A and B are shown apart, each in its own frame.
Chain A
């Protein structure tokens, strides 16, 4: 197995510290992995500008690679093109749902400044679309808070971005 594909496999083991069921590959934030003689260069894209998980993720990547003997690692952050929830993998979306967080809808008209838009968000527990927004900002910057009007559960929605 080439070093590069081994690195990709190791990155699958690095989890989002705030949503630990998602790997950073599920999240779609790893832009590239480049290996030269003894150096590994990894480029990641931040999700939100102020997301405190980004520093932790960079450190976790480093630790995971050191564990396997890769010491010469550089991790750079690339802002453009800006990360979007459309880069989240289908597997990642399934994992989110199983974890109780509604996965992001495809990026669409709701990612706009238009006021009082109602987005059809599916309840991750009972699959009903009969849900309503409680707050556009939830437990972290990337989530909104919703309520299911059928099963009455409140839930997080990983909002489209």
Chain B
């Protein structure tokens, strides 16, 4: 059995899930942004994330369809049960719309409710800086397709990172109200950042050096934003193993409704 290929499949799912779930969250802003330009910005970011997720899911589906029986067994717990009744090859949409909550292995940070604008901005900043440094490293991955997707995506993520950094500063160093809101977001979300750097068994990158770069970015932006990097506290975890917050089920119920009510629907 080729263990590394099944690990590669799971890791690809993890990258896809991160992008899809945050993309879905950000899409909730459609028509609700604080001003039109920023409504368009956050939903454009959502679209980029959805596109990245599609590239990863498509690749995961190709990997799976080429697996032998033993490899299929090794990743069986991630495969949607409903798809098994379809009697056709696995496709990207099956992975996005038919898996159950415990089969998703995204970071908990990505599934947290969108909250107010400060919560959305801070989460985006945490995630985009993580994703930016991660994609930079993945470009050198020995798996060609993974590195190609990273090479493509890192350019988009650079814009997300710049945009969210500027907004963290705008809110932190803005009015009393905006400063208060982003501090509250920081108190709520910091405990979800540790999971990014706690390696799962399928992880492929050097998370320790990634963390160093990430912390440096936090320090630079927080200083301009008149915020303080919180002291180390207890960190939440579980997302990478399929253990989610209570918010995840609601998100999936909305996102997956159509494919579950009308299996194989297309338009």
**B147 — nearest CB in chain A belongs to which residue?**
A80
A115, A116, A137, most chain B CB atoms within 10 A? A137
B158 touches A113 (CB 8 A): yes
Q: Mark B31-63, 1 if CB is under 8 A from A, else 0.
A: 000000110110011011111101100000000
- CB-CB < 8 A to B47: which residues of A? 48, 50, 52, 141
A139 touches B158 (CB 8 A): no
The stretch of B162-170, B230-238, B243-251 that contacts the partner chain: B162-170
A136 touches B148 (CB 8 A): no
| Binding site secondary structure of chain A | loop
Which one, A52, A111, A115, A134, contacts B155 given CB within 8 A? A111
B123 to chain A, nearest CB (A): 17
B151 touches A137 (CB 8 A): no
- CB-CB < 8 A to B156: which residues of A? 48-49, 141
Taking A79-B151, A113-B162, A136-B41 as given, write out 14 further A-B residue pairs in contact, using a Cβ cutoff of 8 Å, ordered by the A residue number: A46-B51, A48-B51, A49-B48, A50-B52, A81-B151, A83-B152, A112-B162, A113-B158, A113-B161, A113-B165, A138-B40, A141-B44, A141-B48, A161-B155
The contact sample of 25 A-B pairs, CB cut-off 8 A, is A46-B51, A46-B152, A48-B48, A48-B51, A49-B55, A49-B152, A50-B48, A50-B52, A78-B148, A79-B148, A80-B147, A80-B151, A81-B151, A83-B152, A112-B158, A113-B158, A113-B165, A115-B169, A134-B37, A135-B38, A136-B41, A136-B162, A137-B163, A141-B44, A141-B156
